[in-house]
Amino acid sequence: MTTKITFTDADTLQNPFPRIWKSLWYPILSRAIVLGKFGFLKTTGEKSRLTANVNDLAETVNTPGDAPRYLSRYQLTPRPRRSKMSRLLNVLVMGATGGTGRATVERLVAEGHRVTAFSRHADRLASEINGIITVNGDATDPTAVAQAVVGQDVVIVTLGITENPFRVRFLGPARTPIDVRSRGTKNVIEAMKKHGVRRLIVQSSYGVGATWGFLGFADQLLFNLLLKPQIKDTEIQEQYVRASGLDWVLAQPVHLKDDAADETSPYLSTQGETRLMKVARQAVARFLALAAREEAYVGQSVTVSG
């Protein structure tokens, strides 16, 4: 997770001693200040990174690109920067009838946003969720996607294949193209650029890209033997997102579960750390809605765990 900490002038240390003593007292005092401010944190064995001098630490924390390296491993209370997006939004949810897609629609509606649900059978949601617009369409159809994107502030992509993974792996999917994630996302990106929509939130999968090395042996075996074609397409999807030039956020949830989430917020990390290897779809939906209205996660891949 990303947390911004700003050191004011009052927090900046001024050297009251002659420069000749700086090499003696400054490292000790700097360490004391760091541990005083962050003493409640549990380190991961990299104590030397917390002994950086205070001026360097302040510079690092105040640099958005660098802050996650030092802070994301700790469970701090998130204080994302408010943005102009913090208002009621027009949000398009692609793949709205899937498990996470539906949960996201429900979450956005509960927050008061104007939601357009897009899927091949989106009209199924009309009688179950009040106040939404439903669009029956195929994400691999550029024209249908472009029409749905018009007038939106944010697009959230939760595309996937809901068929039995064994059938998909050995026989191929019966109803959904194997490359629905990448093709659908590419269509979304092109439509967003055409119509001037900037915020793109995409659900990917934990273990894709840089988080592959965090998977255990059993999960790596599962990915290689059973989910390989789908993971390959998700990798392509992420490449499209990163190269889009849009204000994108990638969400990488761990193993999804359908039981209702409790009131605990999902554990978020920009460095691939997890708390549990399962997370409720409702918890993922909470993060997707948060990423839609806040700018703190723009340009980052965020691991979402329980």
Q: To the nearest 10°, the Cα dihedral for 281, 256, 187, 180? A: -140
d(CA 149, CA 224): 35
Whole-number pLDDT of residue 85: 57
Please report which confidence band the pLDDT of residue 45 belongs to, taking 50, 70 and 90 as the band edges.
Answer: very low
Per-residue tokens: 291: 């990423």
CA-wise closest residue to 95 among 203, 218, 199: 203
Whether residues 67 and 96 share a domain: the answer is no
In this predicted structure, which of 22-31, 37-46, 79-88, 197-206 has the lowest mean pLDDT?
A: 37-46
User: What CATH number does residue 246 fall under?
Assistant: 3.40.50.720
Whole-number pLDDT of residue 196: 98
Give the other-Cβ count within 10 Å of 23's Cβ. Answer: 8
Asked if residue 132 lies in contact with residue 97, where contact means CB atoms within 8 angstroms, the answer is no
Whether residues 19 and 59 share a domain: the answer is yes
Whether residues 110 and 236 share a domain: the answer is yes
26: containing domain: 9-71
Residue 56 forms part of a structural domain = yes
d(CA 254, CA 237): 17
125-171: pLDDT as tens digits: 999 999 999 999 999 999 999 999 999 999 999 999 988 888 888 88
Whole-number pLDDT of residue 35: 37
Whether residues 153 and 34 share a domain: the answer is no
Distances (CA, A) of 71 to 43, 155, 262: 10, 28, 25
Mean pLDDT of 111-125: 97
Whole-number pLDDT of residue 258: 87
62-112: pLDDT as tens digits: 333 333 332 333 333 343 444 445 589 999 999 999 999 999 999 999 999
Whether residues 94 and 151 share a domain: the answer is yes
Whether residues 301 and 160 share a domain: the answer is yes
Whether residues 132 and 60 share a domain: the answer is no
Three-class DSSP category at 20: helix
Whether residues 166 and 300 share a domain: the answer is yes
Mean pLDDT of 258-276: 85
Whether residues 127 and 246 share a domain: the answer is yes
CA-wise closest residue to 90 among 18, 228, 196: 196
Whole-number pLDDT of residue 261: 56
Q: What percent of the chain has pLDDT over 90?
A: 63
Whole-number pLDDT of residue 87: 82
Whether residues 59 and 108 share a domain: the answer is no
Residue 273 forms part of a structural domain = yes
Residue 229 forms part of a structural domain = yes
Distances (CA, A) of 159 to 15, 27, 52, 120: 56, 51, 43, 11
The last residue of a domain, from among 71, 100, 123: 71
Whole-number pLDDT of residue 75: 36
Rounded to the nearest integer, the mean pLDDT of the chain is: 78
Number of domains in the chain: 2
Distances (CA, A) of 224 to 9, 102, 204, 215, 232: 53, 28, 17, 12, 10
Residue 300 forms part of a structural domain = yes
- CA 178 from centroid of its chain's CA atoms: 23
Whether residues 25 and 135 share a domain: the answer is no
Whether residues 50 and 197 share a domain: the answer is no
Question: HSE on the CB side for 271, CA within 13 Å?
Answer: 16
Beta bridge partners of 255: 278
d(CA 258, CA 260): 6
Residue 258 forms part of a structural domain = yes
Residue 53 forms part of a structural domain = yes
